[in-house]
Every structure is written in structure tokens, then in C-alpha cells.
Amino acid sequence: MDSLLNNITSSTFLSPIWISLKIAILAGIIVVIIGTIAGYFLARRSFKGKAVVETILMLPMVLPPTVVGFLLIVIFGKNSWAGQAITWLFDRPIIFTWWAAVLAAIVVSFPLMYQSAKSGFLSIDRDIEDAARVDGANDWKVFWLISVPLASKALISGAILSFARALGEFGATLMFAGNIPGETQTIPIAIYLAIDSGQMTMAWLWVGAMIIISFIILLTIRVKE
């Protein structure tokens, strides 16, 4: 019993949990903002090539995480144009950093938020937005005072699903952010390595932690509904 308590309070156990939560929260916040804006824009505007843009935005959801990881390395790697720009700006490359894990989480969870937001905005009666315009609201006020509150259910469930997806991200993170204990080692990566090295107790603990967090997330959605 004492050893279990020691395990639970040890930094070896807690570190991946904090890292995972921090990554998922930050990625979640960013994804909620850009996913909501993208969802609104694509629900309201039509333009040439819209179908192609929508397909590209949804692609990370169906692609294997290793493909996403590969593409992230190609796009943001040390030799790429974007990678060099980042190195120049921040004095270090993004690959194999905590920020790389955040970026990987953003990419894989974005489609869930975008999809929820878009269908939430599409379900709003356009006349209600038009009524607000007639009442003197500008585009920003229509969006903030009418569209967002009316799509709030879809936005909240999108946010929670994206958070959960960011929390569970494994493949792309491992490839793009690596496995650096205390920096990029998330719960899913820690579980994989624990099993690989026969540390079944630690694996169980992390699995338990993951189940509890996921359960709370899904329960929140159910209660909200």
C-alpha cells in the first residue's frame, strides 16, 4: 500500500499527467478559437473550391497519426521553410519540444471542433441573424451575441471532444515531439513505454488516470445535454 502511494505521488507518475493536461488544455483553447471561426466562416460563405478546403480541414481526422506526424516533420522540420522561420524567431527549432506536442494535438483535434462548430452554426435559422442585422447589429455583434449563444451546445461538445482527442494523441506526438521525460512525455507515450519495459504497475496507474479523466469529460457532455 505504501509503495502504491509512493508511486502515485512520485513525479515519474505525475509528470506525464501534468504534461498531457497542459498540452490538451492549451491545444483545446487554440482549437476552440480557430475551429469556431473556421466553422462559422465555412457555414456562412460559399466560394470556389469550398469543398476542397472543407475536405482538407477534415483530413487529419481520417489520416493515420503517423501520416500526420510525418507531414508535421516535413513541414516544420529543421530544414523546412517554416522550420527555419521558427528557428530564426525563437532561437530553436520546434521539433522535439513541448510546443511540438501542442501543435500535433491541435492538428489532430481541430477537425472535431471545426465539424461541431460548423454543424452548430448551420442549424441556426438565418432569419434570426438577419433580424439582428436589421436591429442594427454589425457582423461581430451578430456573431458574438446571436450565433455563438445559439450554437453554444455544439461548441461546448466540440470543445470537449477536441480536448479528449488532444489528451489521447499518441502517434503524431511521438514522431514530432519525441519522448522527452518532463517535457514531451504524455500519458499515452508513458503507458506505451511502461508496458514495453515491463513496468505493469505504472502502466495500470496511468491507464486508470486516463480512464478517470476521460470518464469525467464524457460525463460532462452527458450532463450538459
Residues whose CB falls within 8 Å of the CB of residue 19, separated by 6 or more in sequence, listed in order? 98, 101, 182, 183, 184, 185, 186
Nearest to other proteins of 53, 150 (CB atom): 150
Rounded least distance, CB 136 to other proteins, Å: 4
Q: Which of 125, 140, 216, 225 binds other proteins (CB under 8 A)?
A: 125
Candidate ranges 11-19, 29-37, 84-92, 132-140; the one touching other proteins (CB under 8 A): 132-140
Q: Examine residue 138 and tell whether it contacts other proteins (CB under 8 A).
A: yes
Residue found under cell 522535439:
96
Q: Is 224 one of the binding residues for other proteins (CB under 8 A)?
A: no
How far is 72 from 91, CA to CA, in rounded Å? 19
Q: How many residues at the interface with other proteins, by CB under 8 A? A: 16
Helical packing angle, 11-44 and 50-62, nearest 10° = 160
Buried b / exposed e along 4-18 (16+ C-beta atoms within 10 A) = eeebeeeeebebbbe
Given candidates 132, 180, 217, 221, which one binds other proteins under the rule CB under 8 A? Answer: 132
Instruction: Tell me the closest approach of the beta carbon of residue 125 to other proteins, in angstroms.
Output: 7
Which of 17, 34, 67, 150 touches other proteins by CB under 8 A?
Answer: 150
* Choice from 149, 208, 219, 224 touching other proteins (CB under 8 A): 149
Q: Is 155 exposed, middle or buried (0-12, 13-18, 19+ CB in 10 A)?
A: buried
Select the span of 7-15, 50-58, 60-68, 121-129 touching other proteins (CB under 8 A).
121-129
The DSSP H or E segment spanning 79 is: none
Residues that bind other proteins (CB under 8 A): 125, 127-128, 130-138, 141, 146, 149-150
